[in-house]
A and B are shown apart, each in its own frame.
Chain A
Amino acid sequence: MTRKIRVVHYLNQFFGQIGGEDKAGMRPMDKAGHVGPGMAFASALGDQAEIVGTVICGDTYFGENMETATAEVVDLIVKYEPDLVIAGPAFNAGRYGTACGAVCAAVAEKLQIPVVTGMYRENPGVDMFRKRIHIVETEGSAAGMRRAVPKMAKLALKLAKGEPTDSAADGYLTRGIRKNYFAEERGSARAVEMLVRKLGEQEFATEYPMPQFDRVDPNPAIRDMSKAKIALVTSGGIVPKGNPDHIESSSASKYGKYDLEGVDALTAESHQTAHGGYDPVYANESPDRVLPVDVMRDLEREGSIGELYRYYYATVGNGTSVANAKKYAAAIAKELVEAEVQGVILTST
């Protein structure tokens, strides 16, 4: 009998069953065998592979110490002498996705073994790491675990056995690698065929997808800041105490517009954060840390800016889709232009 493929699994504190956001600062640790979603992987991998160890690290710790955390995690992984590393899936969790990507990329580079992770298409980890590692496309939330695990396990086994893979058939995000092959028909015939389908409004698949660049031209500089009306807009979830519009802590479905008339600084009594993706203690203690009304008032008094616009806009960026964020931004920008605001300071978390 051939030896079983040795797998190490990387998880964050939540899926590692250590705890929620309050445990996100934890340093990397390892456990023998599988933990949490590892159970699902163990059954999906079957008897060809075995999860020999699990490495768990808090999302905040990883995000704040990316280089050292990556090295620490890789050191723990090496101990288990793996043939394959699986990370996540991270779905649409940004910090977790980035950590999964960084761990996989480091393992692939240092240990030269196959790695697989899973993420939602809009996870920031995708654009950072898709060229270097295999990322299986998953749904946006953990509700998609049941469908993500078999896809990831199947791809992982193929890679471990050195079998050829294909992004469409194996469900991973394209890595931008071109492969040469002999086609039945020459290029001109394929192009005409494609054009005929396009003209007939039928479906066709391009052979050369163009990257989509989201480039935004910067506005011309503001000539005289001492006369400019400046607005504050945040995705950090700062809302009046009690969150009157019920902006969701994740995947916000709306934004709010709030009055700053007569407000010199935000306090724990007047405002709070509605954001569910970071430790809210410091933002709730002094909401100015995320939405700097106090500093803007100082600048206003000393004449560095003309005035702070009377209203600020807030939403929660946590897990909010790019499409929705664009929609809110367009609506907010329209109002700001109508209000003759010349400059906007955007703050996140």
Chain B
Amino acid sequence: MDLENQARVKELAEKYGAENVVVVIGGAEAEASGLTAETVTAGDPTYAGPLAGVQLGLSVWHIVEDDIKAEIDPAVYEDQVSMMEMVLDVDAIKEEVSTIREQYSKY
């Protein structure tokens, strides 16, 4: 996760309170999505950005996870996400992101 985005997430969490922020990831593969999820929960695993050592514990989900999908107008989802859903390894992404969430999310 790049430095600017880490700074943005940190700022939003401080402004609105970590309990009021939900991060939805759109990453195209499991490892990268897992790293993003880890960054906004347990802190930046690469120790390069503003979230190094900062454990925000945010609620983090991937757009292809069922709970998030259920929240979205099916027509919009069909239009914006379904195409990618067909080509991505959805099961691996779900597994990776949910594992990180269960381990580190505080909210």
A interface residues with partner B (beta carbon < 8 Å) = 14-15, 17, 19-20, 36-40, 142-143, 145-146
Contacts and interface: CB of A to CB of B under 8 A. Distances in A.
27 contacts: A14-B3, A14-B48, A15-B46, A15-B47, A15-B48, A17-B48, A19-B3, A20-B2, A20-B3, A36-B47, A36-B48, A36-B52, A37-B46, A37-B47, A37-B48, A38-B47, A39-B52, A39-B53, A40-B47, A142-B45, A142-B48, A143-B31, A143-B46, A145-B45, A145-B46, A145-B47, A146-B45
Nearest to A37: B47
B35 A17 contact: no
Given A36-B52, A143-B45, 13 more contacts: A14-B48, A15-B48, A17-B3, A17-B49, A20-B2, A37-B46, A38-B47, A39-B47, A40-B47, A143-B31, A143-B35, A145-B46, A146-B45
B87 to A, nearest CB: 14
B94 to A, nearest CB: 19
B50 interface: yes
A241 to B, nearest CB: 24
B99 to A, nearest CB: 15
B4 to A, nearest CB: 9
A252 B88 CA distance: 19
A120 to B, nearest CB: 14
A38 B46 CA distance: 11
Contacts of B50: 17
A-B pairs, top 6 by smallest CB distance, nearest first, are A142-B46, A37-B47, A39-B53, A36-B47, A145-B46, A15-B48
Nearest to B53: A39
Interface string B27-66: 0000100010000000001111110110000000000000
A40 B3 CA distance: 18
Contacts of A14: 3, 48
Contacts of A36: 47-48, 52
A19 B3 CA distance: 8
B13 to A, nearest CB: 18
Contacts of B48: 14-15, 17, 36-37, 142
Contacts of B47: 15, 36-40, 145
Contacts of A39: 47, 52-53
Nearest to B2: A20
Interface string B1-13: 0110000000000
Residue of B47, B48, B50, B52 contacting most chain A CB atoms (<10 Å):
B47
Nearest to A145: B46
Residue of A14, A36, A39 contacting most chain B CB atoms (<10 Å):
A36
A138 to B, nearest CB: 12
Nearest to B50: A17
A261 B40 CA distance: 50
Contacts of A38: 47
A178 B70 CA distance: 64
A14 B35 CA distance: 17
Nearest to B31: A143
Contacts of A17: 3, 48-50, 52
Contacts of B3: 14, 17, 19-20
A38 B52 CA distance: 10
A39 to B, nearest CB: 5
Contacts of B46: 15, 37, 142-143, 145
Nearest to A14: B48
Contacts of B35: 143
Residue of B2, B31, B46, B49 contacting most chain A CB atoms (<10 Å):
B46
Contacts of A142: 45-46, 48
A40 B45 CA distance: 9
Contacts of A19: 3
Contacts of A37: 46-48, 52
B63 to A, nearest CB: 21
B68 to A, nearest CB: 24
